[in-house]
Amino acid sequence: MTAIKERDAERAEPLPGPSRPTPRRLELHRLLARRASSRAPRRPAGAATVITAWALGTLSVLTLWVLFFALVLSSLQEAHGQHNLYAKFREQLSKQTAPLGGVIRPGSPVALISAPKLGLKDVVVAEGTDSGDLEKGPGHRRDTVLPGQPGASVIYGRATLFGGPFGSIANAHPGDKITVTTGQGRFRFVVQDVRRVGDPFPLPAPANGGALTLVTSEGASIGNLWRPQHPLYVDAVLVSKAKPAPTGRLSAVPKSEQAMHGDVGSLMPLVLWIPLLLILILATVWAALRWGAWQAWLIGAPLVAAGLWGISETAVQLLPNLT
């Protein structure tokens, strides 16, 4: 009887309720919740955001590459161009086929200039003064006579980019000597003065005499490549006997060949270079995924480098020609 009562008492006792969670258990729940939320799939960015990010990144990389090309690699291109022009002009002098005046094809070598005190030593001068012509060295303005002929001869040269062949002519002093060799012989000039914007023009050359003006820019810097401050002129007079000038030279040159102007005509080639570079990059990536990385880059890397070089060279031609 007693055993039956104890059993009934045990059944009558209330069942224990749920235990209150401890602080450690609460902290464990919070940690598991944070991990679950961090593993939840994130909402992908919109297509417009991705395209904008890629466009800005690509533009930044291209801008940095163009600056690197202009400040570093352009001097290599100028040195290569000078080497080829020097070999060609020396051959023409030996065969007496160097151009003497009249209408001369742009890019053709026409003179060799040396002036140790001005930082010039056997520098080849080519015909033409637009931005593209001055990438290989100094250029002769086509509506003036060649050095050593009666009248005024004008030669442009860059101050900073593409080796900056005229970067030191601002240090010229009256009496400094300049020697110029053309197909008509060797001519000696003596510097009269260094002239800036606002200074008076030099006296005109005598009827049978000659003059030479070297033109470059002043005030250009890394942060001011797009707009140098003003041109600089070095005026010299011929002290040798002038040789006759053939007729037929131009009476004027287009705006792109005048001082401190860029070549706006380079915009169209630049527009064509950009999609071509994009196609080359996409083709290289596709080939790397299909054939293998090193095989694709072995072929694609030189093509992409050529595209970058073409874009940079064309973009720099938009800058002032004397920069």
How sure is the predictor about 208, in pLDDT bands with cuts at 50, 70 and 90? confident
* Residue 165 in domain: yes
Helix (H) and strand (E) counts for the chain?
A: 6, 8
* Residue 38 in domain: no
Higher pLDDT, 124 or 59: 124
- pLDDT, tens digit (0-9, with 9 covering 90-100), for 218-239: 875 555 555 566 899 999 999 9
Q: Quick one: pLDDT at residue 46?
A: 61
- Which CATH number does the domain housing residue 107 bear? 2.40.260.10
**Is the pLDDT reported for residue 12 higher than 60?**
no
Angle separating helix axes 293-316 and 267-291, nearest 10 degrees: 170
**Is the pLDDT reported for residue 242 higher than 80?**
yes
Instruction: Give the whole-angstrom CA distance, residue 236 versus residue 198.
Output: 18
**Is the pLDDT reported for residue 115 higher than 70?**
yes
Q: Quick one: pLDDT at residue 40?
A: 47
* Residue 239 in domain: yes
* Residue 31 in domain: no
Q: How many domains would you assign to the chain? A: 1
Instruction: Give the whole-angstrom CA distance, residue 194 versus residue 211.
Output: 14
* Residue 15 in domain: no
* Residue 144 in domain: yes
* Residue 231 in domain: yes
Higher pLDDT, 187 or 270: 187
* Residue 213 in domain: yes
Structural domain including 90 reads: 61-265
Mean pLDDT value across the chain:
85
